[in-house]
Amino acid sequence: MKVHTEYLKFHTKKHREYLHITPQVEAIVRKSGVREGMVLVSAMHITAGVYVNDNESGLIEDIDQWLETLAPFRQEYHHHDTGEDNGDSHLKALLIHHEVIVPITAGKLDLGTWQRIFYAEFDGQRDKRLIVKVMGE
C-alpha cells in the first residue's frame, strides 16, 4: 500500500472564511500515484473544519448564516473565562467536523456531480494547517 502525505497552509484574510480546496487535493492525489484508495483531508486546528458540499456562493452564505445562528458570537461562553474569545469558533467547528474521507477511483477523486471539498475557517487571520493523507494502491 502506498501512503503519501502533504500539508496545506492557510492564512485567511477574514475571521470566518470558506475555501474551495478540491483542486489542491486533486493535485496531491495525482502526485501520490494512488489509483485505488482513499484520501483523508483533515484540519489540524480546533477552530477549523473540512466538509463536502456544492461550490455555490448562495449555499456557502446559507451555511455561514446557519452556523452563526446555531453558534453565534457572544461574550457569555465559559471558554472565554480562559482569556480566549473564540468559543463560537470551537462550536462551529464541531458542527462542520474536522475531516472528510473521499474515495479515489482510477486515480481521481470519486465525488458526486456537485460535490467539492472545502476548508472552513472560524478563527482566521493567522497561520493554519491541513493534512492531506492519500492511501491505497
Tens digit of each residue's pLDDT (9 = 90 or more) over 27-53: 999 999 999 999 999 999 999 999 999
What is the rounded average pLDDT of the residues 115-136?
Answer: 97
What single string gives the DSSP state of each residue in 7-51? EEEE--SSSSEEEE-HHHHHHHHHHHT-SSEEEEEEESSTTEEEE
Looking only at the bridges linking them, the beta strands covering 2-10 and 37-43 are: unpaired
Give the CATH number of domain 2-136; options: 3.50.30.30, 3.40.50.1820, 3.40.1390.10, 2.60.120.460. 2.60.120.460
φ, ψ (nearest 5 deg) of residue 31: -60, -35
Confidence of residue 109 (pLDDT cuts 50, 70, 90): very high
All structural domains of the chain with their residue ranges: 2-136
**pLDDT of amino acid 52:** 98
CA–CA separation, 100 and 109 (whole Å): 12
Round to whole Å and give the CA distance between 122 and 119.
10
pTM: 0.95
Of 99, 121, 100, residue with least CA distance to 111: 100
Distance in angstroms (rounded) separating the CA atoms of residues 81 and 78: 5
Cα–Cα distance measured from residue 118 to residue 131, given in angstroms and rounded to the nearest whole number: 13
Are the C-beta atoms of 120 and 47 separated by less than 8 Å? no
d(CA 94, CA 101): 17
